[in-house]
Structure 1
Amino acid sequence: MKQIAHIHILPGLLLAVAVAIIAKWAAVLVPQIGGATIAILLGIVLGNTYFKQSIYQQGTKFAESRLLEYSVVLLGFTVTFQTISEMGLKGFVFIVLMMSIVITAAILIGKKMGFSQKMGLMMAGGNAVCGSSAIGAIAPAINADDEEKGQIITLVNLLGTVMMLTLPFLGLAIYGDDLLAKSALLGGTLQSVGQVVAGASLLDEEVVKYAMLFKITRIILLTVVVISFKKMANNKPQSVAKKGMPIPWYVLGFLLICVLNSFTTLPQWLSQTAQFVSGWFETTALAAIGLRLDFRKFMKEGPRFLYYGLSVGTVQTVAALMLIWLLRI
């Protein structure tokens, strides 16, 4: 059975790898754009024209999710507690305030626009924490149905894609060479891990590393969000019992390697190899994100959904800019 599953993954995975190779090659010719940007844009064009067939879906989904998760784990080889400390107490306060503002705004805007409480909670968690992963953890806790879950996942992915392609350039225009401020903007707002990595990759590798620190802090707080939302929805305790601790395995893997890297002197070749492999996983995953971006699904949701998403995204962006200024990050 596993062998059959692997065969189904191959077409989409090989397609994502091919797009990544082309992007890496093109980046040598046009270094100003970069391999990450080329991988995403080429993936979007190909995924909405020549490669829309369902045969590619399993493989591109694997590349988008698993390869990116592996990339995050390998990122631990380049990060130590000394690196994390550079985010500082201000960085942690920034994340807590950002999450609080986004959750409050998403719930209130959703209620004002006539969306159900469950849809508002999923929208709040998806934007405040980690996109589809957060929605997947929150949905069973509040007994949301599959249709509501699918609609919000589509909306959050659309919003995240728009922000992923615009916020890096906004951050560059406002903050210039300020590494921490740009990282806070991207790591504190973008919805999924993939979008944080993709958006930060449009700038440089250092922004990827520091943006992920802000992002991982948000993910670690997912447990608190799920428990709080369960209480707000007044569900039975057993509704989330089977899920266990909703912290993604790759976050735990990243932290474990980070601890090892902080207290042990690892061979330089190991760090270099991890960085090389992580880079290829990342580019392949970004190509897959582009290949899986189906504009037809987004258009089906209608103007009310789009207005909801844009409203929450605007609050996120404005709140991040204000908090970065107020906290002097």
Structure 2
Amino acid sequence: MTVKRILPGLGMSVVIAIISQFLAQYIPALGAATIAILLGIVGGNTFLKQPQLSRGTKFAESKLLEYSVMLLGATMTVQTIGKIGGWGVGFILIQMTITIVGALWLGNRLGFSQNMRLLMAGGNAVCGSSAIASIAPVIEADEDDKGTVITLVNLMGTVLMLTLPLLGGAIFGGSVILKGALIGGTLQSVGQVVAAASMVNQTTVQFATIFKIMRIMMLVVVVLIFGRLHKRTIENELAEDAEVSGNGSGHWLPWYVAGFLILCALNSLVTLPAIVGATAHTISSWFEITALAAIGLRLNLANFLKAGKRLALYGLGVGTIQVVSALALITLLLRH
């Protein structure tokens, strides 16, 4: 009975994902992920409002993103860090820190809740939708906040995806590693990184991907830190409630983040066959695109637009912080 209730919404999400993958072949600048969430928003706010879709879209939004995060672990190794050197690692760590601090500060100034600020900070600093999906449970974020931030991060990522290749070429000329650092150190999702770097050349894709993978590998650290921040906030606000101090929030990793870490460690120790990594990457991508289609279907466009000005300022502000800090750090640390 439960499967029957899930199938309509899940099936519709899969259909939108398939259409998005097809359209992405003709509009590679947008990418399947962005197309999926846009098609979902249009459909979910017009002719796909049926209540019977809600269970399936909720399942796709939460569970498929979780599996997508876990499978990412099989596509990377700790040894990857060595390819960008100490200065490259330093650049990524400082860039992520600036992005997180900037997103939290700006979100506070604009009056957003702590959960919104943490989701925005993690989504931009680490890996977009996957990071948001990983952070949401440990900070007990509601579905509306998660959907809103995922939509905003993907839309802003699309804008940066189209502009960073031009900006990188204008500032760094023919240096593929510097342009790769700018794209891989700034853009939110792996798909956006690959699409943007492909507008330059294949060598830039390789460097940009390495910088991006370094950010993804910090996902576990960010989830742990944000979980602790959330727990501390609850304890400070409700110190008199004994149950809150003992609920364990922030102490344990979600199962899929632990799975991500285990697969990454396993791949680092024994080097899994190439087909395993390729299969994990393909399945992870399909799960993410299907989940993004479901998020679009579930997003209340009226509520999203109601907060449009503040959200636009937030997205633009965080994007500006990321790009300016990346340009400054690349010039200081990597350019020589």
Change (3 A) 1:49 1:328: farther
Question: Contact 2:92–2:211 at 8 Å: present in 1 too?
Answer: no
Gaps of 5+ in 2: 123-130, 170-175, 199-204
The letter for the 2-side match of 1:159 is L
The letter for the 2-side match of 1:220 is V
In the alignment, structure 1 residue 185 sits paired with structure 2 residue 196: no
Change (3 A) 1:134 1:324: farther
In the alignment, structure 1 residue 227 sits paired with structure 2 residue 236: no
CA offset digits 1:18-63 (Å, max 9, x no partner): 1222333445566676544543443343333321333223322332
In the alignment, structure 1 residue 134 sits paired with structure 2 residue 141: no
In the alignment, structure 1 residue 10 sits paired with structure 2 residue 3: no
**Superposed CA RMSD:** 3.7
Number of the residue aligned with 1:156: 149
Question: Contact 2:139–2:250 at 8 Å: present in 1 too?
Answer: no
Question: Contact 1:172–1:182 at 8 Å: present in 2 too?
Answer: yes
Deviation at 1:14, TM superposition (A): 0.6
Number of the residue aligned with 1:20: 17
Question: Contact 1:75–1:274 at 8 Å: present in 2 too?
Answer: yes
Whole-Å Cα distance in 2 between the matches of residues 99 and 127 of structure 1?
A: 12
Question: Contact 1:102–1:127 at 8 Å: present in 2 too?
Answer: no
Aligned equivalent of 1:266, options 266, 269, 272: 272
In the TM superposition, what are the counterparts of 1:72-83 in structure 2 within 5 Å?
72-83=69-80
Question: Contact 1:43–1:288 at 8 Å: present in 2 too?
Answer: yes
Question: Residue 248 of structure 2 aligns to a residue in which SS?
Answer: helix
CA offset digits 1:105-129 (Å, max 9, x no partner): 445445555x38xx2x434422222
Question: Contact 1:154–1:297 at 8 Å: present in 2 too?
Answer: no
Question: Contact 1:36–1:202 at 8 Å: present in 2 too?
Answer: no
Whole-Å Cα distance in 1 between the matches of residues 144 and 11 of structure 2?
A: 29
Question: Residue 221 of structure 1 aligns to a residue in which SS?
Answer: helix
Number of the residue aligned with 2:162: 169
Question: Contact 1:87–1:180 at 8 Å: present in 2 too?
Answer: no
Question: Residue 334 of structure 2 aligns to a residue in which SS?
Answer: coil
Question: Contact 2:74–2:267 at 8 Å: present in 1 too?
Answer: yes
Question: Contact 1:110–1:308 at 8 Å: present in 2 too?
Answer: yes
Question: Contact 2:133–2:146 at 8 Å: present in 1 too?
Answer: yes
Deviation at 1:132, TM superposition (A): 6.1
- Comparing 230-239 with 169-178, greater Cα deviation is found at 230-239
Change (3 A) 1:209 1:14: farther
For this pair of structures, how many residues does the alignment match? 306
The letter for the 2-side match of 1:156 is V
Number of the residue aligned with 1:252: 258
In the TM superposition, what are the counterparts of 1:189-228 in structure 2 within 5 Å?
190=188, 196-197=189-190, 199-200=192-193, 202-203=195-196, 211-228=212-229
Deviation at 1:166, TM superposition (A): 1.1
Number of the residue aligned with 1:318: 324
Question: Contact 1:104–1:124 at 8 Å: present in 2 too?
Answer: no
Whole-Å Cα distance in 2 between the matches of residues 92 and 264 of structure 1?
A: 23
Identity %: 39
Whole-Å Cα distance in 1 between the matches of residues 320 and 29 of structure 2?
A: 29
Whole-Å Cα distance in 2 between the matches of residues 154 and 230 of structure 1?
A: 22
Gaps of 5+ in 1: 140-145, 191-195
Change (3 A) 1:30 1:166: closer
Change (3 A) 1:301 1:35: closer
Whole-Å Cα distance in 1 between the matches of residues 102 and 273 of structure 2?
A: 47
Whole-Å Cα distance in 2 between the matches of residues 49 and 244 of structure 1?
A: 39
Deviation at 1:155, TM superposition (A): 5.3
Number of the residue aligned with 1:142: none
Whole-Å Cα distance in 2 between the matches of residues 163 and 104 of structure 1?
A: 18
The letter for the 1-side match of 2:154 is T
Number of the residue aligned with 1:143: none
In the TM superposition, what are the counterparts of 1:285-304 in structure 2 within 5 Å?
285-301=291-307, 303-304=309-310
Whole-Å Cα distance in 2 between the matches of residues 279 and 152 of structure 1?
A: 23
Question: Contact 1:23–1:38 at 8 Å: present in 2 too?
Answer: yes
Deviation at 1:240, TM superposition (A): 6.6
The letter for the 2-side match of 1:137 is V
